[in-house]
Amino acid sequence: AKHDGRNTFRFYAPEMDKRASERLLIENHLRRALSRNELLLHYQPKVDSRSGRVLGVEALARWENPELGLVSPTRFIPVAEETGLIESIGDWILRTACAQNKQWQDEGIPPIVVAVNISATQFRRNDLVRTVCAALEATGLAPQWLELEITESMLMQRPEHAEAILRQLAAMGVGIALDDFGTGYSSLAYLKRFPVRNLKIDRSFVQEIHTAPSDAAIVRAVVSLAKSMDLDLVAEGVEVREQLDCLASLDCHVYQGYYFSKPVPAALCASLLRQSMPV
Ligand code: C2E
Ligand code: CA
Ligand code: CA
Ligand code: CA
Protein backbone atom coordinates (compact mmCIF):
# COMPACT_ATOMS: atom_id res chain seq x y z
CA ALA A 1 0.00 0.00 0.00
CA LYS A 2 1.14 3.48 -0.74
CA HIS A 3 0.66 6.36 1.62
CA ASP A 4 -0.65 9.40 -0.18
CA GLY A 5 -0.07 11.78 2.68
CA ARG A 6 -3.63 12.36 3.71
CA ASN A 7 -4.24 9.59 6.21
CA THR A 8 -5.57 7.27 3.58
CA PHE A 9 -3.99 4.28 1.97
CA ARG A 10 -4.27 3.52 -1.68
CA PHE A 11 -3.72 0.02 -2.84
CA TYR A 12 -1.76 -0.86 -5.88
CA ALA A 13 -4.11 -1.65 -8.70
CA PRO A 14 -3.59 -2.57 -12.34
CA GLU A 15 -5.32 0.61 -13.47
CA MET A 16 -2.64 2.65 -11.70
CA ASP A 17 -0.14 0.92 -13.92
CA LYS A 18 -2.22 1.83 -16.91
CA ARG A 19 -2.47 5.42 -15.80
CA ALA A 20 1.26 5.68 -15.26
CA SER A 21 2.07 4.36 -18.70
CA GLU A 22 -0.52 6.56 -20.34
CA ARG A 23 1.07 9.48 -18.59
CA LEU A 24 4.52 8.51 -19.80
CA LEU A 25 3.14 8.28 -23.31
CA ILE A 26 1.69 11.80 -23.04
CA GLU A 27 4.94 13.09 -21.58
CA ASN A 28 7.05 11.67 -24.40
CA HIS A 29 4.86 13.13 -27.09
CA LEU A 30 4.42 16.42 -25.26
CA ARG A 31 8.18 16.98 -25.30
CA ARG A 32 8.03 17.27 -29.07
CA ALA A 33 4.63 18.93 -29.36
CA LEU A 34 5.95 22.48 -29.67
CA SER A 35 8.67 21.80 -32.21
CA ARG A 36 6.22 19.76 -34.26
CA ASN A 37 3.62 22.52 -34.25
CA GLU A 38 1.02 20.30 -32.63
CA LEU A 39 -0.24 22.91 -30.17
CA LEU A 40 -2.83 25.47 -31.08
CA LEU A 41 -5.21 27.83 -29.39
CA HIS A 42 -8.93 28.04 -29.65
CA TYR A 43 -10.79 31.14 -28.54
CA GLN A 44 -14.11 31.42 -26.75
CA PRO A 45 -15.98 34.73 -26.73
CA LYS A 46 -17.29 36.48 -23.64
CA VAL A 47 -20.50 38.16 -24.60
CA ASP A 48 -22.40 41.03 -23.01
CA SER A 49 -26.01 39.98 -23.47
CA ARG A 50 -27.29 43.52 -23.13
CA SER A 51 -25.39 44.83 -26.13
CA GLY A 52 -24.75 41.54 -27.91
CA ARG A 53 -21.11 42.57 -28.14
CA VAL A 54 -18.10 40.35 -27.64
CA LEU A 55 -16.04 41.96 -24.86
CA GLY A 56 -13.17 39.55 -24.99
CA VAL A 57 -12.07 36.01 -25.64
CA GLU A 58 -10.43 33.31 -23.57
CA ALA A 59 -7.56 31.44 -25.20
CA LEU A 60 -7.81 27.68 -24.61
CA ALA A 61 -4.97 25.33 -25.45
CA ARG A 62 -5.47 22.42 -27.82
CA TRP A 63 -3.08 19.61 -28.64
CA GLU A 64 -3.46 17.56 -31.76
CA ASN A 65 -1.07 14.60 -31.93
CA PRO A 66 -0.96 12.14 -34.83
CA GLU A 67 -0.85 9.15 -32.48
CA LEU A 68 -2.85 10.35 -29.49
CA GLY A 69 -5.43 12.36 -31.37
CA LEU A 70 -6.90 15.47 -29.80
CA VAL A 71 -5.71 15.60 -26.19
CA SER A 72 -7.70 17.69 -23.71
CA PRO A 73 -5.87 20.44 -21.80
CA THR A 74 -7.17 18.88 -18.58
CA ARG A 75 -4.93 15.91 -19.47
CA PHE A 76 -1.81 17.56 -20.85
CA ILE A 77 -1.52 20.78 -18.82
CA PRO A 78 -1.00 18.84 -15.55
CA VAL A 79 1.69 16.73 -17.24
CA ALA A 80 3.30 19.89 -18.60
CA GLU A 81 3.30 21.31 -15.07
CA GLU A 82 4.88 18.27 -13.46
CA THR A 83 7.57 17.89 -16.08
CA GLY A 84 8.54 21.55 -16.29
CA LEU A 85 7.41 21.64 -19.91
CA ILE A 86 4.86 24.27 -18.89
CA GLU A 87 7.67 26.82 -19.01
CA SER A 88 8.08 26.60 -22.79
CA ILE A 89 4.47 25.67 -23.49
CA GLY A 90 3.08 28.42 -21.27
CA ASP A 91 5.36 30.94 -22.91
CA TRP A 92 4.22 29.79 -26.36
CA ILE A 93 0.55 30.09 -25.30
CA LEU A 94 1.07 33.61 -23.98
CA ARG A 95 2.91 34.78 -27.10
CA THR A 96 0.50 33.14 -29.50
CA ALA A 97 -2.54 34.66 -27.77
CA CYS A 98 -0.93 38.13 -27.72
CA ALA A 99 0.17 37.85 -31.35
CA GLN A 100 -3.32 36.75 -32.41
CA ASN A 101 -4.99 39.60 -30.59
CA LYS A 102 -2.57 42.12 -32.13
CA GLN A 103 -3.27 40.67 -35.56
CA TRP A 104 -7.03 41.09 -35.07
CA GLN A 105 -6.45 44.72 -34.14
CA ASP A 106 -4.25 45.21 -37.20
CA GLU A 107 -7.05 43.75 -39.33
CA GLY A 108 -9.38 46.46 -38.12
CA ILE A 109 -11.41 44.47 -35.63
CA PRO A 110 -12.35 46.66 -32.65
CA PRO A 111 -9.94 45.88 -29.81
CA ILE A 112 -10.92 43.18 -27.35
CA VAL A 113 -9.21 41.65 -24.34
CA VAL A 114 -7.60 38.23 -24.73
CA ALA A 115 -7.53 36.16 -21.52
CA VAL A 116 -4.78 33.59 -21.01
CA ASN A 117 -4.85 30.86 -18.36
CA ILE A 118 -1.82 30.82 -16.11
CA SER A 119 -0.98 27.55 -14.38
CA ALA A 120 0.05 27.30 -10.74
CA THR A 121 3.62 26.44 -11.69
CA GLN A 122 3.91 29.43 -14.01
CA PHE A 123 2.54 31.66 -11.28
CA ARG A 124 4.94 30.32 -8.68
CA ARG A 125 8.00 31.04 -10.77
CA ASN A 126 9.80 34.31 -10.32
CA ASP A 127 9.88 35.27 -13.97
CA LEU A 128 6.17 35.55 -14.79
CA VAL A 129 6.28 39.34 -14.99
CA ARG A 130 9.33 39.21 -17.24
CA THR A 131 7.71 36.55 -19.45
CA VAL A 132 4.55 38.64 -19.82
CA CYS A 133 6.59 41.75 -20.63
CA ALA A 134 8.55 39.86 -23.24
CA ALA A 135 5.39 38.50 -24.88
CA LEU A 136 3.84 41.98 -25.07
CA GLU A 137 7.03 43.49 -26.41
CA ALA A 138 7.58 40.77 -29.00
CA THR A 139 4.03 41.03 -30.34
CA GLY A 140 3.39 44.75 -29.92
CA LEU A 141 0.13 44.13 -28.05
CA ALA A 142 -0.72 46.91 -25.58
CA PRO A 143 -0.99 45.56 -22.00
CA GLN A 144 -4.61 46.62 -21.51
CA TRP A 145 -5.69 44.03 -24.09
CA LEU A 146 -4.25 41.14 -22.07
CA GLU A 147 -5.83 39.50 -19.06
CA LEU A 148 -4.41 36.63 -17.04
CA GLU A 149 -6.72 34.03 -15.49
CA ILE A 150 -5.53 32.62 -12.20
CA THR A 151 -7.32 30.73 -9.45
CA GLU A 152 -7.99 31.61 -5.86
CA SER A 153 -5.75 28.85 -4.55
CA MET A 154 -2.74 30.42 -6.28
CA LEU A 155 -3.31 33.57 -4.24
CA MET A 156 -3.55 31.72 -0.97
CA GLN A 157 -0.38 29.65 -1.22
CA ARG A 158 2.10 32.51 -0.93
CA PRO A 159 0.02 35.64 -0.53
CA GLU A 160 2.98 38.06 -0.34
CA HIS A 161 4.50 36.63 -3.49
CA ALA A 162 1.12 36.69 -5.25
CA GLU A 163 0.47 40.26 -4.20
CA ALA A 164 3.86 41.44 -5.44
CA ILE A 165 3.41 39.76 -8.83
CA LEU A 166 -0.14 40.99 -9.30
CA ARG A 167 0.79 44.54 -8.34
CA GLN A 168 3.52 44.61 -10.99
CA LEU A 169 1.18 43.21 -13.63
CA ALA A 170 -1.59 45.63 -12.69
CA ALA A 171 0.85 48.54 -12.78
CA MET A 172 1.70 47.54 -16.34
CA GLY A 173 -2.00 47.57 -17.18
CA VAL A 174 -2.48 43.82 -17.51
CA GLY A 175 -5.84 42.61 -16.13
CA ILE A 176 -6.25 39.82 -13.61
CA ALA A 177 -9.27 37.50 -13.53
CA LEU A 178 -10.08 35.01 -10.80
CA ASP A 179 -11.04 31.83 -12.61
CA ASP A 180 -13.47 29.19 -11.32
CA PHE A 181 -14.51 31.66 -8.66
CA GLY A 182 -16.30 30.10 -5.71
CA THR A 183 -14.66 26.69 -5.97
CA GLY A 184 -11.47 27.59 -4.09
CA TYR A 185 -10.76 28.53 -0.52
CA SER A 186 -10.27 32.25 -0.79
CA SER A 187 -11.15 34.36 2.15
CA LEU A 188 -13.21 37.26 0.95
CA ALA A 189 -11.29 39.61 3.21
CA TYR A 190 -8.20 38.67 1.22
CA LEU A 191 -9.74 39.55 -2.06
CA LYS A 192 -9.43 43.28 -1.64
CA ARG A 193 -5.73 42.92 -1.06
CA PHE A 194 -5.12 41.82 -4.65
CA PRO A 195 -5.60 44.03 -7.72
CA VAL A 196 -8.17 41.74 -9.34
CA ARG A 197 -10.36 43.12 -12.13
CA ASN A 198 -12.67 40.28 -12.99
CA LEU A 199 -14.43 37.35 -11.31
CA LYS A 200 -15.41 34.33 -13.36
CA ILE A 201 -18.25 32.44 -11.72
CA ASP A 202 -17.49 28.75 -12.06
CA ARG A 203 -19.58 26.63 -14.36
CA SER A 204 -20.61 24.36 -11.49
CA PHE A 205 -22.78 27.17 -10.08
CA VAL A 206 -24.28 27.97 -13.47
CA GLN A 207 -25.14 24.43 -14.52
CA GLU A 208 -28.25 24.09 -12.36
CA ILE A 209 -28.82 27.70 -11.50
CA HIS A 210 -32.32 27.65 -12.99
CA THR A 211 -33.40 24.66 -10.89
CA ALA A 212 -31.26 24.80 -7.73
CA PRO A 213 -32.08 27.70 -5.41
CA SER A 214 -28.82 27.22 -3.50
CA ASP A 215 -26.77 27.81 -6.66
CA ALA A 216 -28.82 30.89 -7.45
CA ALA A 217 -28.17 32.12 -3.90
CA ILE A 218 -24.42 31.69 -4.36
CA VAL A 219 -24.47 33.56 -7.64
CA ARG A 220 -26.54 36.32 -6.08
CA ALA A 221 -23.92 36.69 -3.36
CA VAL A 222 -21.08 36.80 -5.89
CA VAL A 223 -22.93 39.43 -7.94
CA SER A 224 -23.28 41.65 -4.92
CA LEU A 225 -19.65 41.05 -3.94
CA ALA A 226 -18.51 42.04 -7.42
CA LYS A 227 -20.68 45.15 -7.32
CA SER A 228 -19.48 46.33 -3.97
CA MET A 229 -15.85 45.72 -4.91
CA ASP A 230 -16.30 47.17 -8.38
CA LEU A 231 -15.22 44.01 -10.18
CA ASP A 232 -16.27 42.76 -13.59
CA LEU A 233 -18.19 39.53 -13.59
CA VAL A 234 -18.43 36.71 -16.11
CA ALA A 235 -20.57 33.59 -15.81
CA GLU A 236 -18.88 30.51 -17.25
CA GLY A 237 -20.49 27.55 -18.93
CA VAL A 238 -23.79 29.09 -20.00
CA GLU A 239 -25.36 26.46 -22.23
CA VAL A 240 -29.09 27.09 -22.27
CA ARG A 241 -31.50 29.99 -22.36
CA GLU A 242 -32.90 29.15 -18.91
CA GLN A 243 -29.48 29.66 -17.33
CA LEU A 244 -29.05 32.95 -19.14
CA ASP A 245 -32.47 34.23 -18.05
CA CYS A 246 -31.79 33.28 -14.49
CA LEU A 247 -28.37 34.97 -14.52
CA ALA A 248 -29.86 38.10 -16.06
CA SER A 249 -32.51 38.21 -13.32
CA LEU A 250 -29.66 38.15 -10.81
CA ASP A 251 -28.05 41.08 -12.64
CA CYS A 252 -25.21 39.14 -14.22
CA HIS A 253 -24.96 39.99 -17.91
CA VAL A 254 -21.64 38.79 -19.26
CA TYR A 255 -21.46 35.17 -20.32
CA GLN A 256 -19.09 32.64 -21.71
CA GLY A 257 -20.43 29.31 -22.83
CA TYR A 258 -21.73 27.01 -25.51
CA TYR A 259 -25.00 28.97 -25.66
CA PHE A 260 -23.07 31.65 -27.56
CA SER A 261 -20.10 29.74 -28.89
CA LYS A 262 -17.78 26.86 -28.21
CA PRO A 263 -14.08 27.65 -28.21
CA VAL A 264 -13.26 28.03 -31.91
CA PRO A 265 -10.15 28.35 -34.10
CA ALA A 266 -8.79 31.87 -34.61
CA ALA A 267 -10.22 32.32 -38.12
CA LEU A 268 -13.73 31.44 -37.02
CA CYS A 269 -13.35 33.64 -33.95
CA ALA A 270 -12.40 36.55 -36.21
CA SER A 271 -15.67 36.23 -38.08
CA LEU A 272 -17.60 36.13 -34.79
CA LEU A 273 -15.77 39.30 -33.76
CA ARG A 274 -16.64 40.98 -37.06
CA GLN A 275 -20.30 40.01 -36.65
CA SER A 276 -20.32 41.55 -33.21
CA MET A 277 -19.25 44.96 -34.60
CA PRO A 278 -21.98 47.55 -34.79
CA VAL A 279 -22.87 48.21 -38.42
P1 C2E B 1 -11.15 26.76 -17.65
O2 C2E B 1 -10.09 27.79 -17.61
O3 C2E B 1 -12.19 26.81 -16.57
O4 C2E B 1 -11.80 26.88 -19.10
C5 C2E B 1 -13.16 26.69 -19.35
C6 C2E B 1 -13.43 25.30 -19.87
O7 C2E B 1 -14.83 25.13 -19.97
C8 C2E B 1 -12.87 25.04 -21.25
O9 C2E B 1 -12.54 23.67 -21.35
C10 C2E B 1 -14.08 25.33 -22.14
O11 C2E B 1 -14.03 24.69 -23.39
C12 C2E B 1 -15.18 24.77 -21.28
N13 C2E B 1 -16.49 25.37 -21.58
C14 C2E B 1 -16.74 26.62 -22.02
N15 C2E B 1 -18.05 26.83 -22.15
C16 C2E B 1 -18.67 25.69 -21.78
C17 C2E B 1 -20.05 25.29 -21.68
O18 C2E B 1 -20.97 26.02 -21.98
N19 C2E B 1 -20.29 24.04 -21.22
C20 C2E B 1 -19.29 23.17 -20.88
N21 C2E B 1 -19.62 21.96 -20.45
N22 C2E B 1 -17.98 23.53 -20.96
C23 C2E B 1 -17.67 24.77 -21.39
P24 C2E B 1 -11.16 23.20 -21.97
O25 C2E B 1 -10.81 24.05 -23.15
O26 C2E B 1 -11.24 21.73 -22.14
O27 C2E B 1 -10.12 23.55 -20.85
C28 C2E B 1 -10.18 22.91 -19.62
C29 C2E B 1 -9.25 23.52 -18.62
O30 C2E B 1 -7.88 23.33 -19.02
C31 C2E B 1 -9.42 25.02 -18.48
O32 C2E B 1 -10.51 25.29 -17.63
C33 C2E B 1 -8.07 25.40 -17.89
O34 C2E B 1 -8.05 25.17 -16.52
C35 C2E B 1 -7.14 24.44 -18.58
N36 C2E B 1 -6.53 25.12 -19.74
C37 C2E B 1 -7.01 25.26 -20.99
N38 C2E B 1 -6.17 25.98 -21.75
C39 C2E B 1 -5.13 26.30 -20.96
C40 C2E B 1 -3.93 27.08 -21.16
O41 C2E B 1 -3.66 27.63 -22.23
N42 C2E B 1 -3.07 27.18 -20.08
C43 C2E B 1 -3.37 26.62 -18.87
N44 C2E B 1 -2.48 26.78 -17.86
N45 C2E B 1 -4.48 25.92 -18.65
C46 C2E B 1 -5.36 25.76 -19.68
CA1 CA C 1 -9.99 29.93 -17.56
CA1 CA D 1 -12.94 28.68 -15.58
CA1 CA E 1 -13.15 25.33 -14.79
Handedness of CA 109, 114, 112, 44 (dihedral sign): positive
Contact 254, 46 (CB under 8 A): yes
Q: Which residues line ligand 1 (CB under 6 A)?
A: 44, 59-61, 72-74, 77, 93, 117, 119, 179-180, 237-239, 256-258, 263
- pTM to 2 decimal places: 0.93
Query: Is 279 a residue whose pLDDT tops 50?
Result: no
Tell me, in angstroms, the distance from the centre of ligand 4 to residue 62's CA. 15
Q: Cα(7) to centroid of ligand 1, in Å?
A: 32
Is the predicted pLDDT of residue 1 greater than 80, yes or no?
A: no
Q: pLDDT at residue 188 above 80?
A: no
Q: What is the mean pLDDT of residues 3-28?
A: 73
The per-residue pLDDT for 278 is: 54
Average pLDDT score, the chain: 92
- Per-residue pLDDT band for 10 (boundaries 50, 70, 90) equals low
Give the pLDDT confidence of 88-130 residue by residue, as tens digits: 999 999 999 999 999 999 999 999 999 999 999 999 988 999 9
**Ligand 1 atom showing the smallest separation from residue 238 Cα:** 18
| Closest-approaching ligand to the CA atom of 237 | 1
Percent of the chain with pLDDT over 90: 82
Q: Is 120 exposed, middle or buried (0-12, 13-18, 19+ CB in 10 A)?
A: middle
DSSP string, 77-145: HHHHHHHTTHHHHHHHHHHHHHHHHHHHHHTTPPP-EEEEE--HHHHHSTTHHHHHHHHHHHHT--GGG
Ligand 1 mutation pick, 95, 117, 199, 202, max ligand atoms within 8 A of CB: 117
pLDDT for residue 16: 73
